[in-house]
Amino acid sequence: MGEHHTVASFDEDLGAISKLISDMGELAGSMVGGATRALLTSDNALAQRVVSDDAIMDARQRELDDRAITLIAKRQPMANDLRAVVGSIRMAGDLERIGDLAKNIAKRVGTVGLSVTPRDLSHSIDVMAQLVLVQVQGVIEEYAAADAAALAKLRNDDERIDVKYTSVFRELLTYMMEDPRNITACTHLLFCAKNLERIGDHVTNIAENAYYVLTGTQLPANRPKQDETAMSAPAA
């Protein structure tokens, strides 16, 4: 009876941690979507809500860390169970960073004058943001569904975000070179695009950790990065 109770208690504790990961993932998606909408529509009220949500994200990470540490100390989990607990701590760290990056985008909303930004450039940022949002939402859904194959594919799909970021980067440089009046707005948009690209990188980390939790094996480490902005410059 005692052993059954212990197993049940462990499963309940692990379930609570998994629920926190799910809640953090849902909040991360809401923050990324909200920050992008606020940026593209100059919605300062929505931007402020995203900034406020970051405190909730931080609190959930702290709660998860506390639960996980207590669980390890009390239950001393082995093998698969330990992998799940440690993996949750790592995933929560990446979700918290996604929240920080979404907050950083939201904080720029009041300073970006999109009235001077060409519509096709706003569209490019929006397309990139949608790619990122699909990744954020997908990684949590696929972990919850224990779909390791889908997680491996999602990890590789980050390449599309890198390619889009390179394209946006070149567009922004071109607009800045064409008209110095665009420089301030484009600089802020460049910062936001870089944050979106970094969110994609954190989703990749989550996918890798989730895959490891589910399978006990690591995905190959040599996924190529396609961000070419370090070497890119618009054609004269």
Tens digit of each residue's pLDDT (9 = 90 or more) over 188-209: 899 999 999 999 999 999 999 9
Cα distance between residue 195 and residue 200, in whole Å: 9
Residue 46: inside a domain: yes
Dist CA 27 CA 21 (whole Å): 10
171 located within any domain: yes
Q: Give domain status of residue 226, yes or no.
A: no
Q: What is the DSSP letter of 221?
A: S
Chain position carrying tokens 């093998």:
79
- Over residues 122-166, the pLDDT tens digits come to 888 999 999 999 999 999 999 999 999 999 999 999 999 999 999
Is there a domain that residue 233 lies in? no
* Predicted TM-score of the model (pTM): 0.89
* Residue 219 φ/ψ, nearest 5 degrees: -70, 150
Residue range(s) defining the domain that contains residue 185: 9-215
Domain count, the chain: 1
* 155: CB partners within 8 A, 6+ apart: 204, 207, 208, 211, 219, 223
106: domain CATH number is 1.20.58.220
How far apart (Å, rounded) are the C-alpha atoms in residues 66 and 161? 34
